[in-house]
Chain A
Amino acid sequence: METIHLKKHIEPDLTFTQWFKNVYGAVKTTAIGMGITFKYVWGRDVVTIEYPEVREELPSNSRSRLFNDAENCISCLQCAVACPVDCIYIAAVKRATDAPKIKTKDGTPIRLDLKQYTIDTALCCYCGLCTTVCPTECLTHTTDYEFASYTLAAMKYDYLAPEIRAWRTRIVKA
């Protein structure tokens, strides 16, 4: 047989006046609270939005869906190195010396041909470290936030595929 001792806070015995004070306090403080809530009935603007009908515009530096403009990418691998979860896969091949010289939008010469640029956004943690190191600013976070999909495979974005390149006109702001 074992005895378990439990501590308990012992309230002092209630006097008659104390009982009335308690009742008064309960009624008074509840009335104050009800008064505060009652003020919210009128004269308040609606703070929520009806989502699918009304869509919120995110701030311009919002970190949502990633987009890589593959034409401006110089395959420097800096984004892949900076990525803390290693979800960026890049492979590039050196351009032949006699191939026509191409440049990015800001004038950096492209010396490598991009063969693979895949980001597994199911792994991505949207930290933004890859976009800050990008020297040509081709990898950007866009403000596009509705991209739920049914399969994990659909979360893998191959930015060299034509259908994903086609997003450019839709989600990249000037």
Chain B
Amino acid sequence: MHNLIADYLNKVVSGCSAKVNEVSIGDKSITIDSSFVLEVCRALKTSSEFEFNVLQVITGTDYPDRIEISYILASFTKNLELILKANLPRGDKSNLPKINSVVSVWSAANFQERETYDMIGVDFLGHPDLRRILCPYDWDGHPLRRDYVVQEKYLDMVVNPPEKNNTDDQLFGKRLKEQLGDPKKVSASWKDSSASEESEAKDGE
């Protein structure tokens, strides 16, 4: 089925370079060139053969070298399901990666694109109302990026104040090690960034 869709897309939208990702486990997907998203989505919706009349979800995944936007489409008339993917460069805070909005194809894309903008930081060109949706409107950063660091202060409120962090309990094991002078004798549950404790936590499993 995926091969048929890819052939159809290559035929209708020239240059979209649709490619099927073959997998042994899980779901197959189709990757397309990110600049043709709008045309591809319109072609999939209007095609009489597949009729992808419903946009289920738009989501982004942050990989070390790229951001992958997945459009999950469904056809309620033909009972089909498709994961459509487009790769974008990661960009940075001042220069978010850009992709065309598909709100003109499915109205469902409105909230989904807002969420993807909020969480992953992708600029959807042509979106009527691109605001944050789950985070506060003046929040800083895009939380689902892998390199996201929580801002220290939000509106004069300290984020994660130390008195709520149970630091004493977490460091109890570490202090015990220092006291005894023999780290091998102590096993503690709190995973520190140091490698020795990491291995002990594995022993615990």
A and B touch in the complex (CB under 8 A): yes
| B189 lies within 8 A of A93 (CB) | no
> Any chain B CB within 8 A of the CB of A78?
yes
Contact of A91 among B164, B166, B172, B204 (CB under 8 A): B172
Q: Which residues of A contact B184 (CB under 8 A)?
A: 94
| A116 lies within 8 A of B172 (CB) | yes
> Any chain B CB within 8 A of the CB of A80?
yes
| B201 lies within 8 A of A93 (CB) | no
Contact of B201 among A81, A89, A94 (CB under 8 A): A81
| A91 lies within 8 A of B170 (CB) | no
Q: Tell me the bound Cα distance from A115 to B205 in angstroms.
A: 20
> Any chain B CB within 8 A of the CB of A92?
yes
Contact of B176 among A93, A118, A120 (CB under 8 A): A93
Residue of B nearest to A92 (CB): B187
Residue of A nearest to B204 (CB): A77
**Max chain A C-beta neighbours (<10 A), residue from B187, B189, B190, B204:** B189
| A91 lies within 8 A of B186 (CB) | yes
Distance between A74 CB and nearest chain B CB, rounded to angstroms? 11
| A80 lies within 8 A of B170 (CB) | no
Distance between B196 CB and nearest chain A CB, rounded to angstroms? 14
Residue of A nearest to B191 (CB): A86
> Any chain B CB within 8 A of the CB of A70?
no
> Any chain A CB within 8 A of the CB of B180?
yes
Contact of B187 among A86, A88, A91, A156 (CB under 8 A): A91
Q: Which residues of B contact A112 (CB under 8 A)?
A: 187
Q: Tell me the bound Cα distance from A93 to B170 in angstroms.
A: 16
| A89 lies within 8 A of B185 (CB) | no
| A89 lies within 8 A of B205 (CB) | no
| A77 lies within 8 A of B169 (CB) | no
Q: Which residues of B contact A152 (CB under 8 A)?
A: 164
Total of A-B residue pairs, C-beta within 8 Å: 63
> Any chain A CB within 8 A of the CB of B54?
no
Question: Interface size on A (CB < 8 Å)?
Answer: 22
> Any chain A CB within 8 A of the CB of B188?
yes
Distance between A124 CB and nearest chain B CB, rounded to angstroms? 12
> Any chain B CB within 8 A of the CB of A142?
no
**Max chain A C-beta neighbours (<10 A), residue from B173, B186, B188, B201:** B188
| B189 lies within 8 A of A77 (CB) | yes
Q: Which residues of A contact B187 (CB under 8 A)?
A: 75, 77, 90-92, 94, 112
Q: Tell me the bound Cα distance from A75 to B170 in angstroms.
A: 16
Distance between B175 CB and nearest chain A CB, rounded to angstroms? 9
Contact of B189 among A80, A94, A120, A123 (CB under 8 A): A80
- Which residues on A are within 8 Å of B, measured CB to CB? 75-78, 80-81, 86, 88-94, 112, 115-116, 118, 120, 123, 152, 156
Q: List 29 A-B contacts (CB under 8 A).
A: A77-B189, A77-B204, A78-B204, A78-B205, A80-B190, A80-B204, A89-B166, A89-B190, A90-B173, A90-B188, A91-B189, A92-B186, A92-B187, A93-B180, A93-B186, A94-B184, A94-B185, A94-B187, A115-B176, A116-B172, A116-B173, A116-B188, A118-B169, A118-B172, A120-B166, A123-B166, A152-B164, A156-B166, A156-B169
Beyond the given A80-B189, A91-B186, A92-B186, could you list 15 further A-B residue pairs with CB under 8 A, ordered by the A residue number?
A: A77-B187, A77-B204, A78-B204, A81-B189, A81-B204, A89-B170, A89-B173, A90-B189, A91-B173, A91-B176, A91-B188, A92-B188, A93-B186, A94-B184, A156-B166
